[in-house]
Amino acid sequence: MPLAPVTEPPVPHSLSEYLKSFGPSIVIVLTWLGAGDVVDMAVAGSSYGYSLLWVLVLAVFMRFVLVSLIGRYQLCNPRGEGVLDGLVRLHRWYGPLLFVGAFVMGHVYEAFLTVGVGEICRNVFGMGEVWMWAVLCNATAFVLVLRAYGPLERLFKIFLAVLSVSFVGSAAWVGFSGTEVVQGLFRFEIPGRQGAFGPVTVALAMIGAVGGSFMNLAYPYFLEEKGWRGAKYLRVQFYDLLLAVTAMVVLNLAVWVLGAELLYPDHHITDLEDLPSLLSTVLGTPGRLLFYAGIFAAVYTSILGHAAGLAALGSHAWLRWRTGEQPTSAQYLAHPMHRWIIVWCLVSPLIWTLPGMPDFVTLTLAANSGQVILLPLLAGGLWWITASPKFIGAEYRTRWWENAILAVLFCLAVYGAIQSARVLFGGLSGL
């Protein structure tokens, strides 16, 4: 990340200028899209076929609305402050909460991603240990995250192209029924229960997690690093996010199709190797390697995006908490805490790659306990500052239909927190 202030780029006017300007939303969307999404979409397709595709679209639409409002606040609030600064003005405890959250969730998120990238490299090359590949990949990530934002954004665009060729190409190679996909997108049905979790629980979890996702708060920092400041960038930010979210829908849909076509209704997957292995029996080794290229791109961009976004968020929260003043991007990016958080995110999860380590039960419980606190607080706080003219200003505050969506997200976030608490305390009581 650059330490000097970023100059504001020209506001685009033509189609070609818009396409050249796009970037921050691609970075945040590929940060969201990790190994968990790949497995979740494949599991959903293998368990329910195309029956719950409409839930994917609904969840992504709600996330689009929420993140658009986050971008609107970042660009249009009358004080020129960041989203974190608005939350801190809402209540001062958001500062320490988000600082601690950056460390806790940085370890939790990166743990699964670090193990995933190590397993991918070992499975593809057929040599070495998971921890060796994980060390190599995370060391490279450390160098990339510390570079300027521009090269990082360009790298994400390359990875988006790899993901598109891999996932969409694999789905097209396998073949699918376009009619069934369209029906799944627009036929609002709830299928019968399959497996440990019923379809209603799956649907509510997919939507409810949107409102309280910690990484939603990383988006303003990529806007800031791009140099977009002020309402004049609102239109390009909107189209940038629209394009990136559309790409996310297509990529998730492609993986869902693979699960539905290859696994539904008689087979299920449990880890990252299952679907590529099945693809190798259908498409041969080239099909397996093609899909693994996409999985690597999904996981590695998440490793990079989480480290970069959480480091900016955490160092910003630290300075705001300790000084009580609103720091500039140059100040929190140059602060030693910024680098320490990057180191923490990329080094501490390596412990989970060592031979003989137990499964991730403890880590999962920690994630659930963090979500118990974060889901309602983040969803509610973001709703408050984007709806109140005191914070965002009368011109840009949420409209009635946006408030309706945020109300639904808040209620589902509360529901998700309650369910997480049950899982957490149920697991602890069984220890």
**Tell me, what's the pLDDT at 145?**
96
**Confidence at 419, pLDDT banded by 50, 70, 90:** low
- Tens of pLDDT, residue by residue over 294-342, are 889 999 999 999 999 999 999 999 999 999 999 999 999 999 999 999 9
Residue 180 is part of a domain; what is its CATH number?
Answer: 1.10.4160.10
Mean pLDDT score, 413-431? 62
Structural domains counted in the chain: 1
Which pLDDT belongs to residue 341? 97
Pick from 2, 430, 412: which is nearest to 208 by CA? 412
pTM of the model: 0.89
Mean pLDDT, the chain, integer: 84
Confidence of residue 1 (pLDDT cuts 50, 70, 90): very low
Is the residue at 380 inside a domain?
no
Evaluate whether residue 91 is within a structural domain.
Answer: yes
The C-alpha atoms of residue 203 and residue 9 are separated, in whole angstroms, by 40
Residue 429 lies in a domain: no
- Predicted local distance difference test score (pLDDT) of residue 147: 86
Residue 421 belongs to a domain: no
Q: List, for residues 45-58, the tens digit of each pLDDT value.
A: 777 788 878 888 88
- Domain around 78: 15-366+385-398
**pLDDT category, 364, cuts 50, 70, 90?**
very low
pLDDT digits (tens, 9 = 90+) for 186-224: 877 766 655 545 566 556 555 655 555 788 999 999 999
What is the pLDDT at residue 266? Answer: 61
Distance CA 214, CA 370 (A): 10
Q: What is the secondary structure of 348-411 as a DSSP string? A: GGGGGGSTT---SHHHHHHHHHHHHHHHHHHHHHHHHHHH-TTTT-TTTSPPHHHHHHHHHHHH
Q: How far apart are CA 244 and CA 414, in angstroms?
A: 28
Specify the residue for token string 């709806």.
Answer: 387
Listed range (253-267, 355-369, 375-389, 417-431) with the worst mean pLDDT: 355-369
